[in-house]
Amino acid sequence: MGKPKFSRKKYETPSHPWQEDRIKEENELIKKYGLKNKREIWKAETRLRKYRGQARGLLAKIGTDAQSKKESDQLIMHLNRLNILPPNSTLDDVLTLDTEAILSRRLQTIAYLKGLASTPQQARQLIAHGHVAVGDKKVTIPGYMVTKDEEGDIAYTTDSSLNDTMHPARPRGEFASTSFKKEVKPKEEKPVESKDEKSEEKKPAEESTEKSEEEKKLTDKEPEKEEKSSDEKKDEKTEEPKSEAKTEEAERVEQLNEKTEKQDDPKKEAQKTDEESKEDQQQTEEKKEEESDKKEDN
């Protein structure tokens, strides 16, 4: 039986917790439909899984007994009443449904599309606070599945302050909600051309190509001349800076030579002074020897 306080879980979690593609898709759906968490996506997926499983089982039994035909008609009527499928649908159409077909029938999305709120998140807040009613009944469940007959009876409750057109939380008169469905542009069909028309079109096209080739040849010759003249100008421009660079290098070499000569001059002078001092010493020694010889002779 279970505990009455804790109801049975009405959804199935994914088989693996870390799947990158699935997580990205779920995050996009949460932003698109203004959902609270991923649990609401899993509830829609389990509902869709039940519909698809029932359709597969009935397709296997179809034609065998009258009960399978009766059950298939009941399933299609149920989906038609929820406005998920059109009236003249088959079990194959049930297998083509996706999760967004279920999420688009929630009260939150329909209230947003009818212009009762400016965003899906605001629609969820208004429903939870008791500002939205389906017919004469106040509904505070954003995930309430709206039927085809109830879709036109969605409005603000009689006690809601949002009935005042000047209320700041109420959408403006110019507001128009955007649909969640992607618009598919029809492909433009190209007109079929006959063989005679194609042959007639090819002839002037060939003539035009011949003329264009002749014009290209004439135009190609002129740019060659211009390119030559431009190349000559480039050579002249390159020669001038080369000569200037050579003169600058020569001046730099001369300056370096002068600096080295100036640096070498004091060294040479020091060498000269050393040689002169040595010669003076030799002369003085010779004079002393001569004087000492004279004294000995005397």
- My answer on whether 76 and 119 are in the same domain is no
pTM, two decimal places: 0.58
- My answer on whether 68 and 146 are in the same domain is no
Q: Which of 158, 175, 192 is the last residue of a domain?
A: 175
Torsion of CA 30, 34, 36, 42, to 10 degrees: -50
- My answer on whether 95 and 131 are in the same domain is no
- My answer on whether 71 and 137 are in the same domain is no
- My answer on whether 73 and 124 are in the same domain is no
Residue 135 domain boundaries? 106-175
Task: Quick: pLDDT tens for 239-248.
Answer: 555 455 557 7
Question: How many structural domains are present in the chain?
Answer: 3
- My answer on whether 53 and 85 are in the same domain is yes
Alpha helices (runs of H) in the chain, residue ranges in sequence order? 20-33, 39-61, 66-81, 91-95, 99-103, 107-113, 120-128, 195-297
Q: Which of 141, 175, 209 is the last residue of a domain?
A: 175
- My answer on whether 250 and 168 are in the same domain is no
In a domain, 74, yes or no: yes
Q: Which two tokens stand for residue 100?
A: 């967004």
- My answer on whether 39 and 90 are in the same domain is yes
Instruction: List the pLDDT tens digit at each of the 298 positions of the chain.
Output: 567 888 888 899 999 999 999 999 999 999 999 999 999 999 999 999 999 999 999 999 988 888 999 999 999 999 999 999 998 999 999 999 999 999 999 999 999 999 999 999 999 999 999 999 999 999 999 999 999 999 999 999 999 999 998 999 998 765 555 556 554 445 555 555 555 555 555 555 555 565 566 666 666 655 444 444 555 555 555 555 545 555 776 777 777 777 666 666 655 666 667 777 777 788 788 887 877 777 777 5
In a domain, 213, yes or no: no
